Amino acid sequence: MPSAIHHDDVVPTAIPLKLSEDGMAINYDDPTSWNVTAAPAVYRSKNKIRSVVAGLDLTHTSSTKPLINLGLGDPTVFNLHPPSEASISAVQEALLSGGANGYVPGTGDRAACAAVARYHQKWDGVSYQAEDVTLCHGATHALDMCFSIMTSPGHNVLIPSPGFPAYETLLGNIQDCEIRTYECLPDRGWECDVEQMESLIDDKTSFVLITNPSNPCGNNMHPDHLRRIVALAERKKISIIADEIYGHMQWSEHPFVPLASLSTQVPIVTLSGLSKRFLLPGWRFGWIVLHDPSNHAHAIRHALHCWGNRIMGPCSLIQKALPRILDETPDAWFKEVVGKLENNAITCYDRLTRIPGLYCTFPTAAMYLLLGIDISHFPEFDSDVDFCSALVKEQALFCIPGQSFGIDNHMRLVIAAPNAVLVDACERLEEFCLKHYV
Ligand SMILES: *Cc1c(COP(=O)(O)O)cnc(C)c1O
């Protein structure tokens, strides 16, 4: 194991940016220099994980403990579970068939789109046609595409806090788009503050984005709560972007209920893909499905078609393999993965909630535990960033501070690791807290 984490292990490398004070491209006055600059949009981009983690000292001094990196939200890091056999053999077959080497339609191969529609019909109980589907390079590209086509200059959008940092990174590149954040409340099991959400919506609001199940909160919202959100969007006549990349990865008492299944009026743009539930983030395959039961969203439907044709869709091999991946990955395989995550959630929750100075709600979905730090009991540390810095240094345990997700005095643990690794991580946290708690 490496003895230090590099910042680039946590977030992908970006071009080193040279910023002027107003955040625009630097204007080099030197007439002998080359006139090579990047677009202003590049300089508007922020990455909260990057900026917060950059402030951490990631070298650790523990000579006996190998590093445990619970930072990356990638379910393959610890080999939690192998991909389904169907996924592997479907790609082999697609490759060997020789029939998947050409360009496919920009919004996706028809058979692949039909398979996505079938998948959501089966799991979500929502009826889709192949035409409602747009295939993308991972859900991040799906987000980028939705943000590009669903924002207008001078308008605003609502995203959750704490939330997935890529939302702000991607929206930050869009000119003249105001980002408003609504809170997810720890003492209500991370449900959204719907009153606050309502107060933030005005006649310039383009959409509200809901992440369910949530990264970083690890919760699966109750259907009644989701109904309130849909009712609000209906009253305000705005659409919802539903980031459901963790859809069905849950072990809560109530089922996972997709937002689209609750709407008869509100256009719901749902994002999903292979990265999390199928444990295949590196394949970069995601999609958008549009649920528009009352035909209010012609503009979005048209825009998705236009935008899909800009870069001609994701890899043809995975598109060719997709029907088999979605149709033939057995229900039992999903169950095994969720079973492991649930077991990990129980282990971590039991161990962490008896450590002085830490608190959390029981995670019931996705693959994260968002741990509260009662920082007043740790006077050596000013913030969760300090706390996480010292934790790497002394215990060789790396977790991302809550600030990266927009919440102070928290840290996010990835629970998609073997149970024994998580037990070790909890023991290190306990030793660390017992040493520093007052
Ligand atoms: C991981 C993740 C995504 C994006 O995944 P891709 O790897 O781009 O498919 C989108 N939303 C949330 C909340 C995520 O955690």
Task: Give yes or no for residue 273 CB within 6 A of ligand 1.
Answer: yes
Phi, psi of 238 (to 5 degrees): -125, 160
Q: If you take atom 15 of ligand 1, which residue's CA is the nearest one?
A: 215
Residue 270 alpha carbon to ligand 1 centre in Å? 13
Tens-place pLDDT, residues 341-398: 999 999 999 999 999 999 999 999 999 999 999 999 999 999 999 999 999 999 999 9
Domains plus CATH for the chain? 48-80+332-432 (3.90.1150.10), 85-329 (3.40.640.10)
Residue 382 alpha carbon to ligand 1 centre in Å? 31
Q: Answer whether residue 191 shows pLDDT above 50.
A: yes
Ligand 1 atom closest to residue 140's alpha carbon, by position in its atom list: 8
Task: Give yes or no for residue 169 CB within 6 A of ligand 1.
Answer: no
Q: If you take atom 5 of ligand 1, which residue's CA is the nearest one?
A: 139
Confidence of residue 13 (pLDDT cuts 50, 70, 90): very low
Query: Which amino acid is located at 425 in the chain?
Result: A
Ligand 1 atom closest to residue 281's alpha carbon, by position in its atom list: 7
User: In the β-sheet with 286-291, what is the strand arrangement from edge to edge?
Assistant: 133-136, 286-291, 268-273, 239-243, 205-211, 156-161, 178-185, 191-192
Residue 139 alpha carbon to ligand 1 centre in Å? 5
Could you give the percent of the chain with pLDDT greater than 90?
84
Tens-place pLDDT, residues 208-249: 999 999 999 999 999 999 999 999 999 999 999 999 999 999
- Tell the residue number behind the tokens 């199928």, with chain if given: 278
CB 243, CB 164: distance < 8 Å: yes
Task: Give the integer Cα–Cα distance in Å for 268 and 247.
Answer: 15
- Tell the residue number behind the tokens 């849909």, with chain if given: 230
CB 96, CB 118: distance < 8 Å: no
pLDDT at position 61 is: 73
The β-bridge relationship of strands 178-185 and 191-192 is antiparallel
The β-bridge relationship of strands 410-414 and 400-401 is antiparallel
Tens-place pLDDT, residues 282-337: 999 999 999 999 999 999 999 999 998 888 899 999 999 999 999 999 999 999 99
Task: Give yes or no for residue 160 CB within 6 A of ligand 1.
Answer: no
Residue 170 alpha carbon to ligand 1 centre in Å? 12
The two three-digit tokens of residue 202, written as one number: 């005005």
Best mutation site among 164, 209, 318, 341 for ligand 1, i.e. most ligand atoms within 8 A of its Cβ? Answer: 164
Q: Answer whether residue 193 shows pLDDT above 70.
A: yes
Task: Give yes or no for residue 247 CB within 6 A of ligand 1.
Answer: no
Task: Give yes or no for residue 218 CB within 6 A of ligand 1.
Answer: no
Q: Taking CA 360 as the corner, what is the angle to CA 415 and CA 48, rounded to the nearest 5 degrees?
A: 65
Q: Taking CA 149 as the corner, what is the angle to CA 163 and CA 182, rounded to the nearest 5 degrees?
A: 25
- CB within 8 A of 211, min separation 6: which ones? 160, 163, 164, 243
Task: Give yes or no for residue 134 CB within 6 A of ligand 1.
Answer: no
- CB within 8 A of 185, min separation 6: which ones? 191, 192, 193
Residue 244 alpha carbon to ligand 1 centre in Å? 9
Residue 252 alpha carbon to ligand 1 centre in Å? 21
Task: Give yes or no for residue 192 CB within 6 A of ligand 1.
Answer: no
Ligand 1 atom closest to residue 141's alpha carbon, by position in its atom list: 8
Task: Give yes or no for residue 286 CB within 6 A of ligand 1.
Answer: yes
Does pTM top 0.95 for this prediction? no
CB 202, CB 398: distance < 8 Å: no
Task: Give the integer Cα–Cα distance in Å for 376 and 201.
Answer: 35
Residue 245 alpha carbon to ligand 1 centre in Å? 6
The two three-digit tokens of residue 190, written as one number: 């991370």
State how far Cα 166 lies from the chain centre. Answer: 7
Classify the C-alpha dihedral 227-233-238-240 as positive or negative.
negative
